[in-house]
Amino acid sequence: MSDCLVIGGGVIGMMSARTLAMAGAKVTLIDQRACGKESSWAGGGIISPLYPWQYSDLVNELSRASQAVYGDLCAALLDNTGIDPEYIHSGLLMMDEYNTPEAQEWMDKHRFDFQSHPQGALFANIAQVRNPRLLKALKADIFKRGVKIVEYTKVNQLITENSTTLGVVTDNKKYYADHTIVCSGAWSSSLLDAKNTIYPIKGQMIVIKSKAGVVEHIVLDQGRYIIPRKDGQLLIGSTMEDVGFERSIDAQVGADLLAFAVARFPQLKDANIEHHWAGFRPASKADVMIEKHPQLAHLYINTGHFRNGLNMAPESANRIKQMIEG
C-alpha cells in the first residue's frame, strides 16, 4: 500500500494509522497537540452506544463490528506495548428506558438480551476500556509499527491541485502523500472547508475515588452514567453542551454529577471530586462520516463519531482502509 497522511491523533486517527500500517502503508500522523489528549481522552470508554435504539443502524453496525474485535485488540496492544487498556466486561445496568416500546421492539429485532436486575436491566456483555490507557497503548503501538508521529504541529490547509488532494500545509512544512485522511475530531470542519458540518458538543465529566466493588457495573440512568474502573475510581458523566470550543468547567455541574451518583449509591456520600474536565465530541449532521471526499480525489474523512468514537473506532478504521484499498 502507498503513503498515507493521517490528520489527528485521537482514537480515530491512531486506530486508522494502525490499521493502515498493518496493511503495509507508510503512514505519517500529525496532531496539533500531543496525541490522545482531546475528546478521546475526555470520554468514558463505554464500548456501546448508551441506549442503542436511539442510534441509527449504521452506528450500531459500526459498534457491533468493533465490539467483536475489541477484546483481541486490547490484548494485542498489551502484548506489543506492555500498556494495559483495561478492557473489562463490567456489564451495563440500565435503570430507565429499557422497557419502552421502542427499546423492546429494537431488542426483539436485534436479539439483544438483558438479565432482569432489582434496579433495572443488566446488559452483561457490555464492556469498557480505560481510554487514556488505550490511547497511550495505541501511540506506543503505532510508533513500534513505524508510523511517523508528528506532534504539536497544526495542519493549516490541504494542498489541492486539479481536484486532487496531494498533502497538507503546516506552519513549518508541507507534507505530501498518496492519500490524506482527516481524523481531526470536532475541528474537522475547518480543514474540509465545510463550515458547521462537524461541530463540538462539550461534555463535562468528574472522577471520584471509591473502593473497588462498590459500583459493580456501569450504571446508566436518565442519560447519565457511572463507570467503575478496576482500581475503584468512578467516572461520572456527562453533559451535552452546544457552546462551541469553550473549555471551562462548572462547579455546579460537578456537584450535580456527584449528587447523581450519591442518589443511587448512598455509600458515596463522603466522596470528593478528584478531577473534573470537559471534552469536545465531534458531532455531525450525518450520524458519522466515514467516506471518500465527494469532490477531492485521494482525500478521506473519518470523523463525526459524536458520543461513540471510542466504541466505533476499530471498524471505522477498517472501513477507511477498505476504501483506500479500493
Ligand X SMILES: Cc1cc2nc3c(=O)[nH]c(=O)nc-3n(C[C@H](O)[C@H](O)[C@H](O)COP(=O)(O)OP(=O)(O)OC[C@H]3O[C@@H](n4cnc5c(N)ncnc54)[C@H](O)[C@@H]3O)c2cc1C
Rounded (5°) CA angle 132-134-137: 110
Residue 305 in contact with ligand X, rule: CB under 6 A: yes
Residue 91 in contact with ligand X, rule: CB under 6 A: no
CB of 229 to ligand X, least distance (A): 12
Q: Which is nearer to ligand X, 121 or 191 (CB)?
A: 191
Rounded (5°) CA angle 317-319-325: 105
Query: How do the residues of the chain divide into helix, strand and coil, expressed in percent and rounded to 5?
Result: 35, 30, 35
Strands in 164-170's sheet, in edge-to-edge order, are: 155-161, 164-170, 174-176
Residue 187 in contact with ligand X, rule: CB under 6 A: yes
Query: Contact with ligand X (CB under 6 A): which of 4, 5, 25, 30?
Result: 30
Q: Which is nearer to ligand X, 120 or 315 (CB)?
A: 315
Residue 88 in contact with ligand X, rule: CB under 6 A: no
Residue 200 in contact with ligand X, rule: CB under 6 A: no
CB of 101 to ligand X, least distance (A): 26
The residues that bridge with 235 in the sheet, in sequence order, are 207, 227
Site string for ligand X, 164-183 (x = CB under 6 A): -------------------x
Query: Contact with ligand X (CB under 6 A): which of 39, 67, 90, 210?
Result: 39
Strands in 115-117's sheet, in edge-to-edge order, are: 115-117, 120-123, 92-94, 218-221, 224-228, 234-237, 198-208, 273-284
Q: Look at strands 174-176 and 164-170 and give their pairing.
A: antiparallel
Q: Give which of 288, 17, 274, 290 is closest to 141, Cα–Cα.
A: 17
Q: Look at strands 198-208 and 234-237 and give their pairing.
A: antiparallel
Query: Contact with ligand X (CB under 6 A): which of 90, 210, 284, 303?
Result: 303
CB of 120 to ligand X, least distance (A): 18
Query: Contact with ligand X (CB under 6 A): which of 5, 6, 9, 324?
Result: 9
**DSSP helix/strand/coil, 298:** coil
* Binding site residues, ligand X, CB under 6 A: 7-13, 30-33, 38-40, 42-46, 154-155, 183-187, 191, 203, 205, 237-238, 279, 281-282, 303, 305-311
